Amino acid sequence: MATHKLLLLPGDGIGPEVMGEVKRLIDWLNAAGIAKFETDTGLVGGSAYDAHKVSISEGDMAKAKDADAVIFGAVGGPKWDTVPYEVRPEAGLLRLRKDLALFANLRPAMCYPALADASSLKREAVEGLDIMIVRELTGGVYFGEPKTITDLGNGQKRAIDTQVYDTYEIERIGRVAFELARKRKNKVTSMEKRNVMKSGVLWNEVMTAVHKREYPDVTLEHQLADSGGMMLVKWPKQFDVIVTDNLFGDMLSDIAAMLTGSLGMLPSASLGEIDVKSKKRKALYEPVHGSAPDIAGQGLANPIAMISSFGMALRYSFDMGDLADKVDAAIAAVLASGLRTADIKSEGTTAASTTQMGEAILKEL
């Protein structure tokens, strides 16, 4: 059995607590002889700042590059609101994405049937919802230069951010979306603002070309990002795979996640290109939710998104799709049994702490 190297980066807030439940799962998989994971742990975000005055240390970056997959908790919190911009908690996450070249961010937005009523949308609009948002993650306005604030004198400053996209960046994220669609409902919706942005014009042009050349069997639709956002709110089930740029993806995937009513449950995967020689790809897995500093350290956090993110690691990094299916089924079964952490409790359900939820899922497995 191959040994897989994992780097665990719990981060801040509820990060360490939810990561604890993944650790429990990993230990069990190792002990039961189902898989062989070697784990190391590092600091990122505010916790790295407190220890080393950086958002992630060079040592931990090296470990991340060396690992087969990084499992990431969450970063940030009011405690670090005033640290210098360059070392703010988020910078650690952005550096991981950029330096590991994790250009493809996969964010499934699905609605757990047991939680459909938690959505602010009507049940019929979200029940059975299962869409996949594919967000470009290493380009666009997140990383483009210049990115500056200049003092113009006279009390005036000028801030500049730059959105840059090259053809190859759009092509490769397009391919990820089309490949995923083939295994799903075979439909891709590309979203941009071609009526205002030159990057939208190029995005549209390249998606159309990749589709025509390499994936004519998949249905491709184009939507302006603003009306796409409206359609998402009105009737999310019309979508299968949505592919969009870094900033639109940030907004649209968060909104889609909230629509499901299952926000605390949703995982994500950030993937690099497959290396032709080793056939491996760099990858980072993290829950869609944030660090929730207000409930940290109280055993209140919901570990499902984190466990489900580890499930995505099994699927996308270690070719253990069957085991990933079992993890997903265990989560669904525990929810169906009525166990709930505080964020998703409702009448007639049984309260569970972070640990109790993690243990129940493991037991189900």
Ligand X SMILES: CC(C)[C@H](C(=O)O)[C@@H](O)C(=O)O
Binding residues: 77-90, 97, 107, 135, 226, 250, 254, 290-302
Catalytic residue among 142, 215, 285, 316: 142
Tell me which amino acid residue 238 is: Q
Q: Is 335 left (phi over 0), alpha (psi -120 to 50) or beta?
A: alpha
Find the residue with minimal CB distance to ligand X. 90
Only one residue has tokens 């964020």, namely 343
Phi, psi of 108 (to 5 degrees): -70, 135
Could you say which residues in the range 237-276 bind ligand X, by CB under 6 A? 250
Which C-beta is closer to ligand X: that of 126 or that of 269? 269
- 343 catalytic residue (yes or no): no
- 130 catalytic residue (yes or no): no
- Contact pick of 202, 300, 323, 333 for a copy of itself (by CB under 8 A): 202
- 296 token code pair: 């940290």
Least gap, CB of 54 to a copy of itself (angstroms): 17
Could you say which residues in the range 232-261 bind a copy of itself, by CB under 8 A? 233-235, 247-248, 250-251, 254-255, 257-259
Catalytic residue among 193, 240, 245, 316: 193
Edge to edge, the sheet with strand 69-74 lists: 36-41, 3-11, 69-74, 283-287, 267-271, 104-110, 130-136, 241-244, 187-192, 219-224
Which C-beta is closer to a copy of itself: that of 205 or that of 217? 205
Q: Apex CA 57: angle with CA 56 and CA 58, to 5°?
A: 125
Only one residue has tokens 């007639």, namely 348
Query: How many CB atoms neighbour CB 118 within 10 A?
Result: 20
Catalytic residue among 245, 250, 285, 316: 250
Mark 146-185 with x for binding to a copy of itself (rule: CB under 8 A) and - for no binding.
-xxx--x--xxxxxxxxxxxxxx-----------------
Query: Using the rule CB under 6 A, is 196 a contact of ligand X?
Result: yes
Phi, psi of 3 (to 5 degrees): -95, 130
The contact set with ligand X (CB under 6 A) reads 90, 93-94, 195-196, 226, 250
Active site residue ranges: 142, 193, 226, 250, 254
